Structure 1
Amino acid sequence: MHSSDMSQTSHGAIYRRDTRLATRCPLIRHSIMAPPPTDQILRDLCSKPETLEKARSIMRRAKAKTGPGSGYEMGHAAIGLSAICAYLASLELDNGDVNETMAQITSCLAPRTFAQCLNTVRTALASSSSDTRSKVKYEDLIAIHKVLKGDLVAGWMDEAEETLLKSGEVRVKTRADETLVKCAVFYWTVQLLSLARIKPDHLTKPYSIEPDDFHDVVEVLNDVCLVVSDRIRVEVDRLKASARQVKTKQAAVPAATPSQMLATSKLLAKAATPSKPSLKRSLPTPSITEPESVSPSKRRVAFVPKADGGDALPQTPAKRRRVAMASAPISSVSEASTRAPSSSVPADDEVATPTVVPLPVASTSSVATPRRGTRRSVNEPEAPASQVLEEQQEPSDDENEEDREDEGLSRSKHFRTPFIDRGQWFSRDPKIERECKMAETYKQKMVAVHGHPLARLRPAFDWKTATPAAISS
């Protein structure tokens, strides 16, 4: 029966044997059994109270600075953090309470791994001390966490801190203690303001504060600062009541009726958008001496009305005028061109007439769109009326020929040379053309120096008899 029990519980016997071995040596006990709490390891290593307190302080800072995402993660080697903190505390106090060999054996790490972790913890603590050098201020915390009414809230925090320190429940000795009190007072105040979005982790992690110490200070504030908390609640209720009154006054203003809103919108639209002047208002007022403006591409022809009041041809129908002309308007260009060939007045009489009607300058306010310019310039100087009439009555042969030539030279806008698409089949590659020119030049140089290699095979040509000569042997 004893043998069967041993066979069935062989692993249990081995476990009991290892347990008995662990109870004999405390150092082996740490490596075989489950790791004890952190504070227990510090108590086993530190024999002096001051070393233990210093090790606990370093342990809190090291945990915050070597956690996940801090950049100083220790991984599986974090099991030796307690021994490393105890050794660092002994070094800072310089009392020789914990030596490096004892700390390395207790940490259950290899000597090389222990040295690497020791350097990592030292670097993390150095960065922590450099980060906490600057003094924490309530104004900075209010700006970081975006708390409204910053000046008023900062006054409440100063009053709460003063009450806490006067009570004697908390003593500030170091910069870390001051940071702890500042963060605790800030958290206590924002909780009275019902700002649930601000959590304790938002204050403990950035400043490497132990959560237990943080909550202890907050509890002390709840017990000591009762008068301050009542005053803060009364002030908050007053601010909320004033905000409700403002909203009620805004809601009490009667809303405008739809008809009033429509009338207001019409007035605003009329004031914002001025009416555009009509086309008739923008046109200049016609006068007797200024005829109706025509297209700038048309050439004006001046003429002199008949002095004897002879029979005139009937007027051709013209475009309907936009504005009524005066009682004695000047005839249009088309009337002058129609009347000129059939006029019975000789050219000599018209040349003798000195009266010439001045042509008006085209108004800049004309709205007619200019047409495509003709071959003859529009801005060329105009001849007197008599000369124009002579040219129209007796056109010369040279002018007729020029007109025919102009008509023959006129091309369509989309004129295209015939067979232009077939030119590509008669062209060669530019590179080949360059090479052929170079080869031809080289051939001419060689022929000039050595002569043509086939010259003796070509029959000589007698230019006098125009017959090929015999080839000389």
Structure 2
Amino acid sequence: MSQHDHLLQQLCGTDAETFKRAQDLIYTVNAKTSQGSGHSLRYPTGLPAACALIASEQLKNTTVELESARANACLKKPEFTKCLDDVRAALADVASSSPSNQRQTRSGNSNKASYQSLVEKYRTPYGGMFLSWCVKAELRYFELGKGINIARENPKIKYGIFNWVCKILKVDTAAFIRDIGPGYDNARNSVATTMDTYCKSIRDAIKAESKQPVDATRISPRKTTAKRALRELPSKDSPKKPKLSPAPQDDEAIAAGPSTQVSAMPTPSPRKSPTKVTIREPDMRQKTAALDSDVEMTGVETPRRARAPEHSTSAFISSSPTRPSTRQSTRREPTPQLPPSPVVDTEDMDVDDFVDHEYNPLPPRRFRPVFLDLHQWNAPDPYFSINKHTRIKG
């Protein structure tokens, strides 16, 4: 039992023939409106009611009426009309593509024509919507009692309806009229006159619906993300390259001029740190006197006293001048002597005086014999020992 059978039973009642025809139409429309078939069903809930109504029309009975079918589909009148048009267009496409469903005319003419072939040949706009309008106009034409003695597959009806719809949509039909020849001019004019006289509502509906697909399928402009500009690599002459601001300098350093000591020493970087303190060297007279007094007073120096000020002044002060040879320097000593440290003007340098603290040895570590606790636990109880000796003597 199909999922639509209960709806078909409500519409068809006891009419088994209409019920069976509606089931076949539902199966055909589902296959024709599947994905990739070229047809779509805008309101699938109205499919059973639309197929039951079309089956009743094909069998020419009054089992299913338009209002009862719309009420069964629970759709508004415009929505059910669109659903009915989609179903008719899908069925018309199936009928035109199936050779078993095409019949010859009563006059014996075997010319075959279909709206699908005409749409594909002349590339009319709107696609499936154009096909549904042709089918709707044809059904209305036969409802008026016109073309009773002519089969529906007769090219005269097909060409007349196709030409009338093209005129409504203002489609160029020069190639179409040239291809079919002058033998169908009377039929085209007759169909066009009848439709213009009795089917003004269909003509207005086609004009109104022809504007809807354009609005519905109009693609809203997407906001594309702005492309980021590629970063330009800074070059020598690039105007976007930031200029380096000149480093601040001390007023004293500018007034004193370049130092011979700094120019003699290799510098790792051309930039000068603004916080670097310039050390002024003592005069040569004071330096020589200080060195001579240092040689006479210090005597033999140990490495321990000469190690402290070495790291703080060796980076700023150049090597001392040649030391005069003395009696102590000519003698060979078992231990090498280090050069005496030069005297630095401590008034200009903010360096703490080196304080030589006496070496304080660490306190001796506490010694605890190994297994000392075993002597405590293994020792016998003195009271028990005294009593034991007393008992033995007694």
Q: Do the structures match in fold with TM over 0.5?
A: no
TM-score, length basis structure 1? 0.24
